[in-house]
């Protein structure tokens, strides 16, 4: 069962081929067997999952079902889940049992899905390799020497390894798309405001967005439909109807206008990744799409702008972890200052501290205009680049990452790690949606290479179009069906 | 040297919304610690703020009440600092684009003149919780019930020149917010709090001196005392050749002094930036116009109307318009009795005296405005004289009857104006007082005037206070002089 897509599993549940309990047990057994090495889960909520599965089976018996009733999935450990540890991958929240559910969690529960647990991640979603987790790094199922990407590395690895058919991730600068690319799965970052952020532990509020990670675009379409929508508890969520994202999946691509941003094919792009992406583009041409080069002239400002805005917001968002009300508190503080200093020094990891320091600095008196204000101006220019591009073409395409998954420990210098996100970060600054789909293999070990992700970008709220384009690609190719050796292992 | 005092005030007004500014938790005062703090108020991981529309409406009403500009767009910013009762590690406030722009408040000076104090702006923000230092054995308790209560911070220009003006300004703000019903204005419960900026300069100097900010000045009286102390401290310092340092000082009402809290060098860098969790507040014109059209009459307008249309003195108009309750009471009395001046005299005289004696607010008066109005009407139409009216008032105050007419009837207080009846009483008194009559007759004519008092008293006594005193006086004089 573990090699089936979420859509196929939903069909199997509907036809009575298996029950939600059987499905849940099968995936729990795989987690039990295989995750010791992968480390993709921080918490496995087996007992609760079986209760939810039984509830789903009972609902099905009563005829009270939706398309996702009884389907198991996992949640990045950034989503608050009532009564379950919600750690954000940090020692700071190792003791934090969330007293409420995030809106996404509520919606998934209402849709009848079954949560198997909480997946590993870079601490507070800060990282591109999942090496910044208090709970240890996650291994890439394609090669245990490689990172799964980050920050939603646990979600990506768990799906790729067949430990769960789908998982929820969040994406602030590429944290869904880059790990999806590294692990050979499909990951969608929706338009900013499409999915409620309520109950998602904040990293950078103006950039954070939740989205689905699964085997196929079709799976993502089902999941996005379940989690999208306006939420009165999130003022930045947009009051706009949620379409049936599966409706347009089969629309033919004849006449589709594709733009290739020349800035996404420049220096630093691994040649093997580039050739995989160019091959993928040919597939679209064979489906009747036209392709032209496009320019996003402010692309090279995206990383500097992001590393001003995101840490600035993070420095403020993470101020609440002070040892006073919840989270890690140091032993026997001498006074208030000591409580603050030691609780935070012990609770936060190095990358989180680095970003808090950067953000605190750029917001400081005398620096604000030169950094934060300037970065916001750049952000508007970057957004305008995309708006201009979408006047010319329907979608943009390029690599999700300049390289395939790199080896654990290979990127010691933080700046080289930041440059990993060169193709994903601008999308968050602009607020547009993007999806990464498997598009071949390149370089490294094993011999056949590591997965390459094709990133497809659309205008604000063009998720249905992106899913359609991705689905058509997956109808014409089988990259998304390839499984790592680990996932082939049956019990 | 002659010194001039320069004062600016930052007044924090707790808005009387039902729920908090960014959450649905109740704002009621005095609940069990932390029983009115929800996930949002606690700043739990993942929570988000949602702006309370009622707080926005109240802030705009205030702005309209001080004839301020209401910008179309205002923006919430985060003010970042660590404090145990500040759950998120930042306060959501408005630094760069406040909801209320420049306006002005009119204050009444003691000489009856008015002065305009400019308001720089007013902005919305959330209150912090409270740190509790008692009963925790050397530790500190945190109560977050107050965290997230909406505050309107009203920042004046440095337009005040004395402690009295500062107190008058604070009272004016108090009466505006209570007139509007946007705050209970209860200073004892912290619904209104005040920071005072004080500096002094040689009279005639154009530039301002270095100022000190005094925190924790939380009553009208404390404002005057804190300023008085601080002005004296600064002048002494300067006259001794010293310098005032820019700093934040704390007012200690028990020792009646201000103490240094932190200097400019120790000041926090609050790292303000726009709150990414809240959208800019965009007010459309129709919304603002609707609020403007529904504003009640405010104290300054009321005071002007009391003077111009009702002919009250500046002093009376000021006192009677000072609070919404007092003004409403007075206007009701006036409506019933039909005489503004008489109503003003009674409200400020007999009624206020009785209220003060018992420590009651006008809205808790045992004598209703209608009862008092009917009583004053009986004075006005000469049914009773002033002395009887006071008796009637006392009876109403003690709940002895439901209306003035009932008291007048029951106690037979109706004024006697029938000159025949009065003459009869006078004749009787004269007949009963041969010694006094003889004294009167023997006295120098210029001394006789004073001696009439005795006879008037006797006649009034005989009438049980109901005789018309003017008539008694006139008739007595006639009769006594006839005997001479």
Query: With the C-alpha atoms ordered B379, B385, B390, B391, is the resulting torsion angle positive or negative?
Result: negative
d(CA A156, CA A166): 9
Q: Which of A232, A313, A324 sits opposite B276 (nearest CB)?
A: A313
Domain ranges of chain A: 6-258+391-488
Q: How many CB atoms lie within 10 A of CB B119?
A: 26
The three state secondary structure string of chain B is CCEEEEEEEEEEEECCCCECCCCCCECCCCCCCCCCCCHHHHCCCCCCCCCCHHHHHHHHHHHHHCCCCCCCEECCEEEECCCCCCCCCEEEECCCCCCECCEEEEEECCCCCEEEEEEEEEEEEECCCEEECCCCCCCCEEECCCCCCEEEEEEECCCECCHHHHHHHHHHHHHHHHHHCCCCCCCCCCCEEEEEEEEEEECCCCCCCCCEEEECCCCHHHHHHHHHHHHHHHHHHHHCCCCCCCEEEEEECCCCEEEEEEEHHHCCCCCCEECCCCCCEECCHHHHHHHHHCCCCCHHHHHHHHHHCCCCCHHHHHHHHCCHHHHHHHHHHHHHHCCHHHHHHHHHHHHHHHHHHHCCCHHHCCCCHHHHHHHHHHHHCCCCCHHHHHHHHHHHHCCCCCCHHHHHHHHCCCCECCHHHHHHHHHHHHHHCHHHHHHHHHCCHHHHHHHHHHHHHHHHHHCCCCECHHHHHHHHHHHHHHHC
| Closest to A269 in 3D by CA, of A402, A398, A399, A400 | A402
Task: With beta carbons under 8 A apart, name residues in chain B contacting A336.
Answer: 84
d(CA A220, CA A441): 22
pLDDT of A113 over the 80 cut: yes
DSSP for A17-78, written as a single string: SS-HHHHHHHHHHHHHHHHHHH--EEEE-HHHHHHHHHHHHHHHHTT---TTTT-EEEEETT
Q: Given A76, A107, A118, A189, which residue is catalytic?
A: A76
Q: Which domain holds residue B210?
A: 3-289
CA–CA–CA angle A341, A342, A344 (5° rounding): 70
Q: Given A19, A43, A115, A151, which residue is catalytic?
A: A151
Task: Answer yes or no: do B167 and B132 share one domain.
Answer: yes
Q: What is the pLDDT of residue B466?
A: 84
Task: Answer yes or no: do B256 and B325 share one domain.
Answer: no
Task: Answer yes or no: do B312 and B194 share one domain.
Answer: no
The percent of residues in chain A predicted with pLDDT above 90, rounded, is 93
User: Residue A476's pLDDT band (boundaries 50, 70, 90)?
Assistant: very high
- pLDDT by residue for chain B (484 residues), tens only, comes to 899 999 999 999 999 999 999 999 999 888 899 999 999 999 999 999 999 999 999 999 999 999 999 999 999 999 999 999 999 999 999 999 999 999 999 998 877 788 999 999 999 999 999 988 877 887 889 999 999 999 999 999 999 999 999 999 999 999 999 999 999 999 988 899 999 999 999 999 999 999 999 998 888 999 999 999 999 999 999 999 999 999 999 998 888 888 888 877 677 899 999 999 999 999 999 999 999 999 999 998 999 999 999 999 988 998 999 888 999 999 999 999 999 999 999 999 999 999 999 999 999 999 999 999 999 999 999 889 888 899 999 999 999 999 999 999 888 888 887 888 888 888 888 888 888 888 888 888 778 777 888 888 888 888 888 888 888 888 888 888 887 7
d(CA B390, CA A42): 82
| Closest to A78 in 3D by CA, of A42, A128, A37, A38 | A42
Task: With beta carbons under 8 A apart, name residues in chain A contacting B277.
Answer: 202, 205, 235-236
The domain boundary, picked from B224, B256, B289, lies at B289
Under CATH, which number does the domain A6-258+391-488 receive?
A: 3.90.1300.10
The domain boundary, picked from B229, B262, B289, lies at B289
Task: Answer yes or no: do B58 and B182 share one domain.
Answer: yes
Please compute the mean of the pLDDT values over residues A209-225 and round it to a whole number: 98
Please indicate whether residue A175 is annotated as part of the active site.
yes
CA dihedral A456, A461, A467, A468 (to 10 degrees): -100
d(CA A145, CA A143): 5
Least confident of A253-257, A324-328, A411-415: A411-415
Q: Which of A320, A335, A428 to mutate to test the interface with B (most CBs of B within 10 A)?
A: A320
Q: Which of B42, B46, B50 sits opposite A199 (nearest CB)?
A: B46
Chain B, nearest residue to A124 by Cα: B45
Please indicate whether residue A373 is annotated as part of the active site.
no
Q: What is the pLDDT of residue B378?
A: 94
Q: What is the pLDDT of residue A490?
A: 60
Chain A closest CA to B140's CA: distance in Å?
A: 10
Interchain contact A105–B (C-beta under 8 A): no
Work out the mean pLDDT of chain A and round it to a whole number.
96
Q: What is the pLDDT of residue B292?
A: 97
d(CA B415, CA B408): 9
Q: How many domains does one find in chain B?
A: 3
DSSP for A223-256, written as a single string: HHHHHBS--TT-TTS-------TTTTTT---TT-
Task: With beta carbons under 8 A apart, name residues in chain A contacting B43.
Answer: 320, 325
Chain B closest CA to A80's CA: distance in Å?
A: 7
Interface of B with A in 114-153 (CB under 8 A): 142
CB contact under 8 A, B276 and A364: no
The domain boundary, picked from B289, B312, B339, lies at B289
Output the pTM of the full model: 0.90
For residue A48, what are its two tokens?
């609760």
Cis, peptide link before residue A446, omega less than 30° from 0 = yes
Q: What is the pLDDT of residue A489?
A: 65
pLDDT in tens, A322-335: 999 999 999 999 99
Decide the pairing of beta strands B114-126 and A395-399. Answer: unpaired
Q: Which of A199, A320, A372 sits opposite B89 (nearest CB)?
A: A320
Task: Answer yes or no: do B315 and B436 share one domain.
Answer: no
Q: What is the pLDDT of residue A447?
A: 63
The answer to whether the CB of B261 falls within 8 A of the CB of B248 is yes
Q: What is the pLDDT of residue A444?
A: 55
d(CA B347, CA B393): 11
For residue B323, what are its two tokens?
């609070």
CA–CA–CA angle A197, A200, A202 (5° rounding): 90
Interchain contact B90–A (C-beta under 8 A): yes
The answer to whether the CB of A156 falls within 8 A of the CB of A174 is no
Task: With beta carbons under 8 A apart, name residues in chain B contacting A326.
Answer: 42, 44-45
Q: What is the pLDDT of residue B399?
A: 93
Q: Please list the residues that pair with B251 across neighbouring strands.
A: B258
Task: Answer yes or no: do B112 and B188 share one domain.
Answer: yes
pLDDT of A491 over the 70 cut: no
Task: With beta carbons under 8 A apart, name residues in chain B contacting A204.
Answer: 276
The percent of residues in chain A predicted with pLDDT above 70, rounded, is 98
Task: Answer yes or no: do B325 and B374 share one domain.
Answer: yes
Task: Answer yes or no: do B122 and B268 share one domain.
Answer: yes
Task: Answer yes or no: do B184 and B113 share one domain.
Answer: yes
Task: Answer yes or no: do B476 and B363 share one domain.
Answer: no
d(CA B67, CA B104): 7
Task: Answer yes or no: do B285 and B357 share one domain.
Answer: no
Please indicate whether residue A343 is annotated as part of the active site.
no
A–B CB contacts, 8 A cutoff, strictly below: 98
pLDDT in tens, A30-75: 999 999 999 999 999 999 999 999 999 999 999 988 999 999 999 9
Report the run of H or E that residue A210 belongs to, with start and end: strand A210-214
> Residue B461 belongs to a domain with what CATH number?
1.10.10.410
Interchain contact A360–B (C-beta under 8 A): yes
Task: Answer yes or no: do B284 and B301 share one domain.
Answer: no
CA–CA–CA angle B100, B106, B108 (5° rounding): 150
Least confident of A174-178, A274-278, B434-438: B434-438
């Amino acid at each position: 069962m573990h090699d089936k897509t979420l859509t196929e599993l939903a069909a199997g549940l509907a036809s009575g081929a298996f029950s939600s309990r059987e499905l849940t047990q099968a995936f729990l057994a795989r987690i039990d067997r295989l995750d010791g090495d992968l480390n993709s889960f921080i918490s496995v909520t087996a007992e609760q999952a079986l209760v939810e599965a039984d509830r789903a089976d009972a609902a099905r018996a009563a005829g009270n079902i939706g398309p996702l009733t009884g389907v198991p999935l996992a949640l990045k450990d950034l989503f608050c889940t009532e009564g379950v540890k919600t750690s954000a991958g940090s020692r700071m929240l190792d003791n934090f049992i969330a007293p409420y559910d995030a809106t996404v969690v509520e919606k998934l529960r209402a849709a009848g899905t079954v949560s198997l647990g909480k997946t590993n991640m870079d601490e507070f979603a800060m990282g591109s390799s999942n090496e910044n987790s208090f709970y240890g790094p996650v291994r890439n199922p394609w090669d245990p020497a490689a990172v799964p990407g980050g920050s939603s590395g646990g979600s990506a690895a768990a799906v790729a390894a067949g430990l769960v058919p789908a998982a929820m991730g969040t994406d602030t600068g590429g944290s869904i798309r880059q790990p999806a690319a590294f692990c050979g799965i499909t990951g969608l970052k929706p338009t900013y405001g499409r999915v409620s952020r309520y109950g998602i532990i904040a990293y950078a509020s103006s950039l954070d967005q939740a989205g689905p990670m699964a085997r196929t675009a079709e799976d993502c379409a089902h999941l996005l439909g379940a989690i999208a929508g306006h939420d009165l508890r999130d003022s930045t969520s947009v009051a706009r109807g949620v379409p049936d994202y599966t409706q347009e999946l089969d629309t033919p691509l004849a006449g589709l206008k594709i733009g290739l941003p020349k800035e996404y094919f420049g220096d630093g792009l691994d040649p093997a990744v580039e050739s995989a992406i160019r091959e993928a583009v040919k597939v679209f041409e064979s489906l009747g799409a036209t392709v032209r080069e496009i320019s996003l002239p402010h692309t090279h400002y995206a990383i500097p702008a992001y590393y001003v805005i995101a840490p600035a917001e993070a420095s403020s968002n993470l101020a609440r972890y002070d040892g006073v009300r919840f989270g890690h508190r140091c032993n026997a503080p001498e006074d208030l200052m000591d409580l603050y200093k030691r609780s935070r020094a012990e609770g936060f990891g190095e990358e989180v501290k680095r970003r808090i320091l950067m953000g605190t600095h750029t917001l400081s008196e005398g620096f604000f205009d030169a950094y934060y204000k300037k970065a916001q101006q750049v952000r508007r220019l970057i957004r305008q680049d995309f708006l201009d591009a979408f006047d010319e073409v329907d979608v943009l395409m390029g690599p999700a990452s300049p390289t395939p998954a790199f080896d654990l420990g290979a990127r010691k210098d933080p700046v080289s790690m930041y440059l990993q996100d060169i193709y994903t970060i601008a999308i968050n600054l602009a607020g547009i949606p993007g999806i990464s789909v498997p598009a071949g293999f390149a370089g490294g070990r094993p011999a056949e290479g590591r997965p390459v992700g094709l990133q497809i970008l659309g205008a604000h709220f063009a998720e249905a179009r992106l899913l359609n384009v991705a689905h058509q690609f997956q109808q014409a190719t089988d990259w998304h069906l390839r499984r790592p050796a680990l996932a082939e292992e049956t019990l | 040297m002659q010194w001039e005092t320069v004062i600016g005030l930052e007044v924090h007004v707790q808005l009387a919304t039902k729920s908090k500014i960014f959450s649905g938790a109740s704002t009621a005062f005095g609940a069990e610690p932390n029983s009115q703090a929800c996930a949002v108020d606690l700043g739990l991981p993942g929570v988000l703020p949602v702006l309370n529309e009622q707080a926005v409406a109240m802030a705009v009403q205030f702005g309209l009440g001080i004839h301020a500009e209401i910008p179309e767009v205002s923006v919430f910013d985060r003010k970042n600092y660590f404090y145990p009762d500040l759950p998120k590690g930042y306060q959501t406030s408005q630094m760069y684009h406040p909801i209320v722009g420049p306006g002005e408040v009119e204050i009444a000076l003691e000489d009856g003149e008015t002065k305009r104090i400019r308001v720089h702006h007013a902005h919305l923000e959330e209150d912090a919780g409270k740190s509790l230092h008692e009963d925790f054995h050397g530790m500190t308790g945190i109560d977050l019930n107050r965290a997230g209560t909406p505050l309107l911070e009203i920042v004046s220009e440095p337009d005040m020149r004395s402690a009295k003006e500062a107190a008058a300004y604070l009272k004016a703000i108090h009466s505006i917010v209570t007139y509007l019903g946007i705050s209970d204005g209860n200073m004892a419960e912290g619904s209104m709090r005040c920071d005072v900026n004080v500096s002094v300069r040689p009279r005639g100097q154009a530039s301002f001196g270095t100022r000190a900010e005094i925190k924790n000045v939380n009553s009208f009286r404390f404002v005057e005392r804190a300023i008085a102390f601080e002005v004296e401290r600064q002048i002494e310092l300067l006259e001794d050749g010293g310098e005032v340092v820019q700093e934040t000082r704390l007012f200690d009402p028990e020792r009646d002094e201000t103490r240094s809290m932190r200097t400019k060098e120790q000041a926090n860098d609050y790292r303000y930036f726009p709150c990414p969790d809240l959208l800019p507040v965009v007010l459309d014109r129709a919304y603002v116009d609707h609020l403007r059209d529904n504003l009640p009459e405010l104290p300054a307008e009321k005071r002007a109307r009391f003077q111009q249309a009702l002919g009250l003195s500046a002093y009376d108009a000021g006192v009677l318009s000072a609070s919404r309750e007092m003004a409403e009471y007075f206007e009701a009395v006036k409506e019933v009795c039909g005489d503004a001046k008489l109503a003003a005299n009674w409200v400020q005289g007999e009624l206020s005296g009785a209220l003060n004696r018992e420590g009651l607010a006008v809205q808790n008066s045992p004598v209703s405005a209608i009862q008092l109005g009917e009583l004053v009407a009986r004075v006005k139409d000469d049914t009773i004289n002033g002395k009887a009216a006071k008796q009637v008032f006392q009876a109403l105050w003690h709940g002895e009857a439901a209306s003035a007419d009932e008291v007048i009837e029951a106690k037979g207080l109706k004024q006697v104006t029938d000159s025949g009846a009065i003459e009869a009483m006078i004749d009787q008194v004269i007949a009963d007082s041969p010694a006094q009559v003889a004294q009167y007759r023997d006295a120098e004519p210029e001394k006789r005037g004073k001696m009439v008092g005795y006879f008037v008293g006797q006649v009034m006594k005989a009438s049980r206070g109901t005789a018309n005193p003017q008539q008694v006086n006139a008739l007595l004089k006639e009769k006594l002089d006839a005997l001479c």
